[in-house]
Structure 1
Amino acid sequence: MNNEPTGLLLAHRAMLRDLDRLAELTRQLATTRLDRKRSAAVADYLSDFCDSIHHHHSAEDEVLWPVLERAAGAHVDLTELTDDHAVLDPKLARIRQGAAALRAGHTVSAELAADLADLRDTLHEHIADEERTIVPLIRTYVSDDEWNRVESVIRKRGAKMTFEVPRILAVCTDDELAETRREGGIPVALMIKLLPLPFKRRESLVFGGSR
Structure 2
Amino acid sequence: MTDEARQLGCQTDDMLMIHTVFRREFRLAGPMVRHVDAGDTAQAARVATYLAEIVTALHHHHHHEDEIIWDTLVDRSPGCALHVGQMKAQHAEVSDLLDRVDGLIPVWVPTADAESRDRLASAVEAVSTALDAHLGQEEEVILPVAASSFTQAEWDRLGEAGMASVPRNRLLVQLGYLMEDATPEQRAMVMAHVPLAARLLYRAVGRRQYEKEIRTLRAPV
Q: C-alpha separation between the residues in 2 aligned to 1:150 and 1:49?
A: 17
1:142 maps to 2:150: yes
Q: C-alpha separation between the residues in 1 aligned to 2:19 and 2:40?
A: 32
Note the alpha carbon deviations across 1:118-156, whole angstroms, 9 max, x for none. Answer: 111100000001111111012122122322344334433
Note the alpha carbon deviations across 1:136-183, whole angstroms, 9 max, x for none. Answer: 012122122322344334433x22335532211112111111111123
Q: Superposition pairs for residues 1-211 of structure 1, below 5 Å?
A: 3-29=10-36, 32-77=37-82, 78-108=84-114, 109-156=117-164, 158-160=165-167, 161-162=171-172, 164-190=174-200, 192-193=202-203, 194-208=205-219, 210=221
- Can you give the 5+ residue segments of structure 2 that lack an aligned partner in the other structure? 1-7
Question: How many corresponding residue pairs?
Answer: 207
- Can you give the 5+ residue segments of structure 1 that lack an aligned partner in the other structure? none
Whether the aligned pair in 2 keeps the contact of 1:55 and 1:159 (CA below 8 Å) is no
Whether the aligned pair in 2 keeps the contact of 1:48 and 1:163 (CA below 8 Å) is no
Instruction: Show structure 1 runs of 4+ deviating over 6 A.
Output: none
Q: C-alpha separation between the residues in 2 aligned to 1:67 and 1:124?
A: 25
Whether the aligned pair in 1 keeps the contact of 2:64 and 2:158 (CA below 8 Å) is no
Q: C-alpha separation between the residues in 1 aligned to 2:162 and 2:38?
A: 39
Structural RMSD (CA): 2.2
Q: C-alpha separation between the residues in 1 aligned to 2:154 and 2:202?
A: 26
Q: C-alpha separation between the residues in 2 aligned to 1:61 and 1:188?
A: 29
The structure with more radius of gyration: 2
| TM norm structure 1 | 0.87
Match of 2:194, SS state, is helix
Matched to 2:98, the amino acid is: L
Match of 1:184, SS state, is coil
Whether the aligned pair in 1 keeps the contact of 2:173 and 2:207 (CA below 8 Å) is no
CA distance 1:159–1:67, change in 2 (3 Å): farther
Query: What percentage of aligned pairs have identical amino acids?
Result: 18
| TM norm structure 2 | 0.83
1:110 Cα deviation from its structure 2 partner = 1.6
Match of 2:38, SS state, is coil
Matched to 1:123, the amino acid is: L
